[in-house]
Amino acid sequence: MDSSMEERVGKDVRSEPIQILGINKNYEYMVQATPEGCEQTSPASVPLFEFFKATTYPEGEMITCAPSKDGEVNIEDSSTHATTETEVRESKKLQPDKIEKMRQAAEIHRQARFDIQRFIRPDMSLTDIAVRIENTTRALSGKFNNYDLNRGWGFPTGLSLNSIAAHYTPNTDDQVYLRKGDVLKVDFGTQIDGYIIDSAFTVYFDPKFEMLAKAVQEATETGIRASGAEAHLGDIGGAIQEVMESYEVELDGTTYPVRSIRNLSGHNILPYQIHGGKGVPIINTYDQQRMEEGEVYAIETFGSTGNGYVHENGVCSHYSRQLRYDVSQMRNLSEKARKLLYSINTKFSSLPFCRRWLDDMGHPDHTMALNQLVNANLVTAYPPLVDRKGCYTAQYEHTIYLHPHRTEVLSRGPDF
């Protein structure tokens, strides 16, 4: 790297201070990041494993929970709970390698967040923001090969503006810029050996959006504290909705209720599979499925000043290969589509990807081949999810792991 680009963390090289709202920066639970005495560069260039050779990665926030007989979860104050020796022994039995890899991915996510929160400002292109996040994630994870399946990106960097709630990342030729009056959802993933951390936050510069962001952040925290082994998924959704929809936001003289986006949800996470098959609703439902010990969940909530319902609209950027498919589905593929599928299998497997990454891989004219894969049901397209035009949406998300009697908020940081 050019030495002129290596500024020590803590030095802000921007010409004027920009206040980024939506980030606490003083969350009550502080996670120790890079071990004392170690210095990271900005942009990040030193893999985290260089700093953690002699120590383990930090655990997330531990929340103690006691499920009642009816499946509801009663939350205790974790700071006053004395963890028993039995609980410690049982926790250590739960696939320690898996937990350590998730904590490593979580530390990468925290430090990538720290970097982008210092970097982001109005009038930046979303492409520049996405590339910064992806380059930082790659460097921190030691992803020396851009498409190493063992570490690095968990899914495309989501940068969804205003009424777009999810599933937008800039395609190569997109010219979209972040403005002072925008609300931006920053949603990105990190992974080590397929163990994915999925976490998101909202950025805005105008304080009029404070109550929208607060509603969604508090709803996410409610969902986290309602989670635990044996908790009913539908009950968690009810708790989230109650908090979310207790808020209103005044925008330019008009008061809007904050609505949970009812057709979006959190989800469990499996190795190399961002959506594991179980959804965590953000409205009250009759879903009696229970969370189970040892599961990993992304607890994410979306609030809107619009209809509280999203539909697919706009040019697609997000895709994912089917988890399983039959060779017969390839029968009518062109040679170009077969080569593209081979690249997707070797570089991404079942992890989601975006068109910009295909361009970077050497598939610049991939549109027709990609459409063939979608039409053959080998690849699924995930277009942008949009609420009513002119409304604003916000998102907060954390990844949790369910220990016996405790929930670990893996992606917790000093920012949120």
89-135 pLDDT tens trace: 555 445 788 999 999 999 999 999 999 999 999 999 999 999 999 99
Alpha-carbon span 307 to 257, nearest angstrom: 10
Give the pLDDT band of residue 36 (cuts 50, 70, 90). Answer: low
Sequence ranges of the chain with CATH classification 3.90.230.10: 62-73+90-312+388-409
Q: Which one of 107, 187, 221, 235 is the catalytic residue? A: 187
Q: Give how far the C-alpha of residue 210 lies from the chain's centroid of Cα atoms, to the nearest Å.
A: 21
The pLDDT assigned to 366 comes to 97
Binding residues: 167, 187, 198, 267, 275, 300, 397
- Per-residue pLDDT at 357 exceeds 50: yes
| 76: alpha, beta or left? (left if phi > 0; alpha if psi -120 to 50) | beta
Tell me if the pTM is above 0.85. Answer: yes
Greater model confidence, 211 or 145: 211
Q: What is the DSSP letter of 50?
A: G
272-296 pLDDT tens trace: 999 999 999 999 998 999 999 999 9
- Per-residue pLDDT at 156 exceeds 60: yes
Decide if 198 is catalytic: yes
The pLDDT assigned to 27 comes to 43
Mean pLDDT score of the chain = 87
Enter the tokens of residue 185: 């959802």
Q: Give the list of residues 6+ apart from residue 88 with CB closer than 8 angstroms, or none.
A: none
The pLDDT assigned to 147 comes to 67
Within 10 A of 213 (CB to CB), how many other CB atoms are there? 27
Q: Which one of 218, 230, 235, 275 is the catalytic residue? A: 275
- Per-residue pLDDT at 233 exceeds 50: yes
Alpha-carbon span 284 to 262, nearest angstrom: 9
Decide if 242 is catalytic: no
Q: Give the list of residues 6+ apart from residue 174 with CB closer than 8 angstroms, or none.
A: 126, 127
Q: Contacts from 192-195 at CB under 8 Å and sequence distance 24+?
A: 192/101, 192/102, 192/104, 192/105, 192/108, 192/141, 192/150, 192/151, 193/101, 193/150, 193/151, 193/271, 194/149, 194/150, 194/271, 194/272, 194/351, 195/98, 195/101, 195/102, 195/105, 195/271, 195/296
- Per-residue pLDDT at 355 exceeds 70: yes
Residue pair 270/327 in contact (Cβ under 8 Å)? The answer is no
Fold of 62-73+90-312+388-409: Creatine Amidinohydrolase (3.90.230)
Binding residues for substrate: 167, 275
The alpha-helical segments, DSSP class H, found in 282-352 are 335-347
* Omega before 43 within 30 of 0, i.e. cis: yes
The pLDDT assigned to 143 comes to 73
Decide if 187 is catalytic: yes
Enter the tokens of residue 228: 């635990």
Return the minimum-mean-pLDDT range out of 18-27, 93-102, 128-137, 219-228: 18-27
- Per-residue pLDDT at 81 exceeds 60: no
Residue pair 395/385 in contact (Cβ under 8 Å)? The answer is no
* Omega before 364 within 30 of 0, i.e. cis: no
Q: Give strand pairing partners of 166.
A: 385
- Per-residue pLDDT at 191 exceeds 50: yes
The pLDDT assigned to 250 comes to 98
386-395 pLDDT tens trace: 999 999 999 9
CA neighbor of 139 nearest in space, from 45, 241, 13, 270:
45
User: Stretch 159-173: mean pLDDT, rounded?
Assistant: 98
Alpha-carbon span 215 to 201, nearest angstrom: 13
The pLDDT assigned to 2 comes to 34
- Per-residue pLDDT at 162 exceeds 90: yes
Alpha-carbon span 110 to 411, nearest angstrom: 7
Enter the tokens of residue 133: 């996040």
Alpha-carbon span 269 to 299, nearest angstrom: 10
Decide if 267 is catalytic: yes
Residue pair 73/65 in contact (Cβ under 8 Å)? The answer is yes
Q: Which one of 109, 115, 221, 267 is the catalytic residue? A: 267
- Per-residue pLDDT at 301 exceeds 80: yes
Return the minimum-mean-pLDDT range out of 93-107, 183-197, 245-259, 345-359: 93-107
Reported CATH class of domain 318-382: mainly alpha
Enter the tokens of residue 347: 């570089």
Give the pLDDT band of residue 16 (cuts 50, 70, 90). Answer: very low
The pLDDT assigned to 148 comes to 75
Greater model confidence, 168 or 3: 168
The pLDDT assigned to 96 comes to 81
User: Stretch 254-262: mean pLDDT, rounded?
Assistant: 99
307-329 pLDDT tens trace: 999 999 999 999 999 999 888 88
The pLDDT assigned to 37 comes to 56
User: Stretch 373-383: mean pLDDT, rounded?
Assistant: 98
Q: Which one of 300, 403, 405, 408 is the catalytic residue? A: 300
